[in-house]
Amino acid sequence: MSLMWSWLTDGSHWHGNDGVLLRLAEHLWYSGLALGIAALIAVPLGLFVGHTGHGRWLAVNLTGALRAMPSLGLLFIAYMWLGDHLRGEGAFLYPTELVLVALAVPPILAGTYAGVEQVDAAARDAARGMGMTGRELLLKVELPCALPLLVSGIRSAALQVIATATLAAVLGLGGLGRFLLDGLATRDYGQMAGGAALVACLALLVDLLLAALQRVVVSPGLTGKTARQPRVETRQAAP
């Protein structure tokens, strides 16, 4: 414990080439990139599944299968396959991002299609009654109503991605995982514990931010209390 404090409070550890600020930025970059890509994939997919009802079986099983992937194994495999074909940073970055995206897609996908599915039938009915087309229904009614669960899915994904982005360090990249592995290698347990604490704090901060975002983005007309939807559906596995 005390080792951790002394490492964290040492000013020299925060700046410079190997410093906390840099690693924090790198960590956020790896995580943000993965979350962005995952959202780009999962949200449209989830909207489609929720709106049309097609492919639900596929979506559920894809979610389950991706959840079960052991991240470390996937990381090694991805690096062994891709590493030789990519030049520069990409050789390390692409495999890492692949794993992080695979981790982030299930919660976002599940949150999105669950969110759309549980939209009140009455609301849908009213929309149709007002003459909305399918697409208008999706974008103006279902999507806004699905937002609470969707954002909840993103929060869940963010938590796991931030916790797992530490794996980037295994491939020699930066990020907060660097402190974990370097600390392990040099027997500097203050560094290791400090790195772990930083990851936890970062995750907490991001979660709070996203919670605030959720409050801002979700229409006040929605109480946010959905019909007995067990939120566990969007809490996912992590490595």
Partner 1 sequence: MKRISLLLPRSVAVTAALAATLTLAACGGDDPLSTDTGNGDGGDGTTIHVGSANFPESVVLAEVYAKALEDAGFTVEKTLNIGSREAYLKAMTDTAELDVFPEYTGNLRLYFDEDATASAPDEVYDELVAALPDTLTVLEMAPAEDKDAVVVTQETAAEYSLTSIADLKDVAGDLVLGGPPEWKTRSTGLPGLESVYGVVFKDFRELDAGGPLTLRALRNGQIDAGNIFSTDPTVASGELVALEDPEALYASQNIVPLVRTEVLDDALEEALNAVSAALTQEELLALVNAVVADKEDPEDVAADWVDENV
Partner 2 sequence: MTWLQDHWSDVFELLGQHVYLAGVPLVLGLLVAVPLGWVAQRLPRLRTPIVVGTGLLYTVPSIALFILMPSILGTGILDPVNVLVSMTIYTVALLTRTASDALEAVPESVRLSADAMGVKPLRRLFTVDLPLAVPVLAAGLRVAAVSNVSIVSVAALIGVPQLGQLFTDGFSRDFMDPLAVGVVGCLVLALVFDLVIVVLARLATPWHQGRTA
Q: Could you write out the three-class secondary structure of 182-208?
A: HHHHCCCHHHHHHHHHHHHHHHHHHHH
Which is closer to partner 1, CB of 52 or CB of 186? 186
State the minimum distance, in angstroms, from the CB of residue 78 to partner 2.
Answer: 11
Size of the site for partner 1 (CB under 8 A): 21
**Helices marked H in 70-129:** 71-82, 90-117, 121-129
CB 56 within 8 A of CB 49: yes
Which is closer to partner 1, CB of 5 or CB of 189? 189
Among 78, 181, 206, 218, binds partner 1 (CB under 8 A): 181
Q: Which of the 8 DSSP states describes residue 121?
A: H
Interaction of residue 186 with partner 1, rule CB under 8 A: yes
Interaction of residue 171 with partner 1, rule CB under 8 A: yes
What are phi and psi for residue 171, nearest 5 degrees? -90, 10
- Contacts with 153 (C-beta within 8 Å, 6 or more apart), sequence order: 107, 108, 109, 110, 111, 112, 114, 115, 234
Among 178, 192, 198, 233, binds partner 1 (CB under 8 A): 178
- Contacts with 104 (C-beta within 8 Å, 6 or more apart), sequence order: 34, 35, 37, 38, 39, 42, 157, 158, 160, 161
State the minimum distance, in angstroms, from the CB of residue 216 to partner 2.
Answer: 20
Interaction of residue 100 with partner 1, rule CB under 8 A: no
Interaction of residue 235 with partner 2, rule CB under 8 A: yes
d(CA 99, CA 77): 10
Question: Of 129-188, which residues contact partner 2 (CB under 8 A)?
Answer: 159, 162-163, 166, 170, 177, 180-181, 184
Residue among 69, 33, 23, 3 at smallest CA distance from 201: 23
d(CA 89, CA 102): 20
Interaction of residue 135 with partner 1, rule CB under 8 A: no
Which is closer to partner 1, CB of 87 or CB of 228? 87
Q: Which does 182 bind (CB under 5 to 8 A by kind): partner 2, partner 1, none?
A: partner 1
Among 89, 120, 126, 134, binds partner 1 (CB under 8 A): 89
Give the interface with partner 1 as residue ranges (CB under 8 A).
18, 79-80, 83-84, 86-89, 91-92, 169, 171-172, 178, 181-182, 184-187
Give the interface with partner 2 as residue ranges (CB under 8 A).
64-65, 67-74, 76-77, 79-80, 159, 162-163, 166, 170, 177, 180-181, 184, 189, 192-193, 195-196, 199-200, 203-204, 228, 230-233, 235-239
